[in-house]
Amino acid sequence: MAWRDLFARVSISDVVQPCSVFVRSGDLVTKARAVMRSSGLRTLPVIDGGRLEGIITSRQVMRITSTRSNIPVAGLMFPPRLIATPAGDLAKLAKEMVGLGISNVPVVQSYGDKTVVGLVRFDGILKRLAGVMKPSLVVGELMTRKVVTCGPEDELPYVWDIMERTHYSGLPVARYNRRKHTNEVIGVITRSDIIRSGTTRLAEESTKGKGRFRNPPRVRSLMRTPAITATPEMPVSKAIDLMLGRGIGRLPVVEGGELVGIISRSDVIKAACG
């Protein structure tokens, strides 16, 4: 079976996963922040009595300082940019998810009945793709060659802003090797790492003279090492297995010790959509 034909044979109902992590509209934003830290998620559905009321994102939550902790979720939530129904077109939904940089979408009973039945997540789609991927398809054919990176000494609020602008879930941490004249990957920093640390909010409070950090923490304090990488010759099916097995959204691509590209869940799903 051709892997590009996957979406003709799989429906949204086939990839729906349980929606076990959410908040209610009456919860305080501080609870939403705690849920995001414990789960590493950057978007939470807001569900009251089983019905989808909206979503709340890390962009909003992390900017609420401790002095404004009495704000309810209802005061910050907004309608989701995407929702799906079990009978919907998976190929169309996948294209929209990639285009908008959205990694999970609430699935409701119908557009008239907002009862939540689950979520469609990038990893659920990838699991289906992994089973029908051509062994001959390699990372070099799908990878993005222009890579946005950060350095170990960059401040975390600066890196967070990059992620917010680009919608990337993580960045390779790179350092230039003067002796070899190569840009080497020394680690990876993700949105989840920053959310769990809480340093973005604390650093923002510091700029107002209220936080604990006069000097915001730097990437080296949170980055994961060594980085999990791919090569241009690696089969895409193996790259998918790495992303799913390690719970990561992208792999820096290294050749001869030098960073030459990056492959993400979005790259694979975009290629499958045709």
Domain ranges of the chain: 3-121, 139-273
pLDDT at 210: 46
Burial class (CB in 10 A: 0-12, 13-18, 19+), 17: middle
pLDDT at 207: 45
Does the domain at 3-121 match CATH 3.30.930.10? Answer given as no
* CATH topology match: 3-121 vs 139-273: yes
Q: What's the pLDDT tens digit per position in 122-155?
A: 999 998 888 777 788 999 999 999 999 999 999 9
CATH superfamily of 139-273: CBS-domain (3.10.580.10)
Strand-pairing partners, residue 237, are none
Amino acid type, 274: G
pLDDT at 201: 54
- When pLDDT is cut at 50, 70 and 90, the band that residue 200 belongs to is low
More confident residue, 60 or 171: 171
The reported pTM is 0.83
pLDDT at 18: 95
Q: What's the pLDDT tens digit per position in 232-265?
A: 999 999 999 999 998 888 999 999 889 999 999 9
More confident residue, 272 or 242: 242
Whether pLDDT at 99 is above 80? yes
Whether pLDDT at 181 is above 80? yes
Contact 79, 222 (CB under 8 A): no
Residue 106: φ, ψ to 5°: -65, 140
Burial class (CB in 10 A: 0-12, 13-18, 19+), 95: middle
